[in-house]
Amino acid sequence: MRNASYDGYNFIMHAKDNFSKFSWLYTLPLKEVTHIVKNLGDLFYRFGPSKILQTDNGKEFTVRQVLQEYEINNFADPVSDTKVGGKKHSLDGPESAYHHVVSGYQIYKHQNESFRLKYNNKSLNEFQLAYETWGKLNAKKNNAILLFTGLSASSHAKSHDENQRPGWWEKFIGPNLGIDTNHFFVICCNHLGGCYGSTGPSSINPATSKPYGASFPMLSVEDFVRAQFQLINHFGINKLHASIGSSLGGMCSILSALLYPENVGRVATISSCMAPYPTAIALRYLQRKMIMTDPNWEHGHYYDKDVYPLDGMRIAREIGTLTYRSGPEWLERFGLRRFNDAIQLTPTFEIENYLQYQGLTFAKKYDPNSLLYISKAMDLFNLTEGYDNQTDAFSKIQCPVLVLGAQTDILFPIWQQKQLAEELIKSGNSNVTFFELNSIFGHDTFLLDVNGVSTALKGFLEISALSIEEKTQT
């Protein structure tokens, strides 16, 4: 029986960000089922089933709840890939929870010792890293896993008591999951240069008492890794059970085994590379150019002004969104579906509308300068830099390595993961596992393919010289 509390309410689709310029208002009496289906369908495909609808008397429901209560059965759940009572629709598509501003992290402060950076003869006299942990560090301190994030992620990979919001790897970390917290102690940091609690361009420069802005020193992937190993030392951990990362995080995880071969037990690198290829560099260059040519960027010093490079950030995110997913997904999910029948220069197609939404929702959730600095560090990454040849570099990495990649990834194409695995094997590492994921979700496969990625990780992590008793000993 339908819930009568829904009858006659005005459901408002709230765009949660205060910069959003739009909202939707729908009246949903039970008798107008066609009206309900049409308008909830619009909400469903644009924003997903978990989006909050708020009634005019203050009650809140999700799109999914309303669909279920009205027994509307022809919309699939794009987040979990399950059905809401009926057949799967061709436009469904999951969205990651990767870019949410969070709280509930802990702070590691590095001070009293200058931290030397790779480029331009620069140092940071002090910095802080935001981090979160899950599981319990055992008495021998040999069950720790360091999880490196992608470009724009916070440290909030998994919910916990201090922050119960789902993390960006919510279904990958936890008891009996891919990274099993019954066995392992997991540490995840927001990168140096980030804006979710770690020191970055938006932080106050102690020398000026103003935000660093574009005066922040240039960063490298090596700096990200070395900074986080300061935290590992702070915990008194001599050797990690594993270093894991995806995308930028995958660069960090494989580099950690090169920089600290005696301190990393095994490595999982997902959707990453030994060096970026020109197309990826070009795409990130365009993203940076969109931000830096926005007049409101103010040469990186917009923090104390009543301006913000919203347009540049929005377009940069739209470009990024295209690189994170795949053409086959867009074809299946959107096709040539239109949301606007008017013939004019403004957006007509659902794919255009989707990109606009992605750009707007991300534009004020992440600091533009952090995007500039961290994306440039990705472009400058080269695992074998400073070595006479590739063999000299790769021969230092002799721990077990798991290399995962997605067939449809256009940002880090699958040949780059194959290349990485092959170079490791050629250099004498006999413990290299390469696995190609058959996923339609492109680069975002590492966020969305729970079964493929999590299953591979679980097997790789739990094949270990450590016994369960050692891992769980307190």
Q: Among all residues, which ones are annotated catalytic?
A: 247, 409, 443
The span from the CA of 337 to the CA of 351, in Å, is 8
- Phi–psi pair at 349, nearest 5 degrees: -95, 155
CB-based contact 16:85 (threshold 8 Å) = no
**Exposure on the CB side of residue 306, measured as CA atoms within 13 A:** 0
The span from the CA of 48 to the CA of 285, in Å, is 31
The span from the CA of 58 to the CA of 43, in Å, is 19
For residue 324, give Cα distances in angstroms to 158, 284, 407: 21, 12, 13
For residue 250, give Cα distances in angstroms to 26, 151, 276, 441, 468: 44, 11, 12, 18, 27
- Per-residue b/e over 298-315, b at no fewer than 16 CB within 10 Å? bebbbbeeeebbbbbbbb
- Per-residue b/e over 191-222, b at no fewer than 16 CB within 10 Å? bbbbbbbbbbbbbeeeeeeebbbbebbebbbb
Nearest to 79 by CA among 65, 69, 94, 92: 94
